[in-house]
Structure 1
Amino acid sequence: MAKVKISKVAKALADETRCKIFELIARSKEISCKEITEKMGLRQPTISHHLKALQEGGLVNVRREGQYHYFSLNKQVLEEFSNYLSKFLN
């Protein structure tokens, strides 16, 4: 995993609200921005800001359907990040 990508993933997870959003997405196969907004109790622009950071970090995939956006985990990036971190445990 390239160092630039590692730093983007780490930066995306460096915020408590983004971690909570990430956990919501992880618990769902796919979840809409509207559902995340309702569950988090935050305003939609705030949620969108955090989702954008998670997207830029490569942690989530987005699928657009009409006016709705649906988010799911990018398991490939998670696996690469996990492999990177596991090198330091051995």
Structure 2
Amino acid sequence: MLRWLKERLAQQNEAVATAVAAADLVDKRYAAGLATYLQVLSTQNATLVEKRQLVDLQSRALSLQANLSRALGGGYRPEMTMTANAHSTVADKS
């Protein structure tokens, strides 16, 4: 997976966690009578937006992996490339 996509996924995971924490806080404030229901709905909406963006990024990552595998003829797994390279180097020396 591309490095920038991994970084973006990590950032988006943090954004989701922050949005969930904010929504929990507003829920508690609402239960205590310190927030309006509109504020509850607003933070829930923000949480859903962040989660949707995370799912979009995850979908993009899977699509990129599938396209790479297809371009390489199928069966590509990143962890296998190191092993395959090691075997070909040994075979070349023989």
Give the TM-score of the pair, scaled to structure 2.
0.30
The structure that is helix-richer by fraction is: 2
Q: Give the structure with higher Rg (CA).
A: 2
The structure that is strand-richer by fraction is: 1
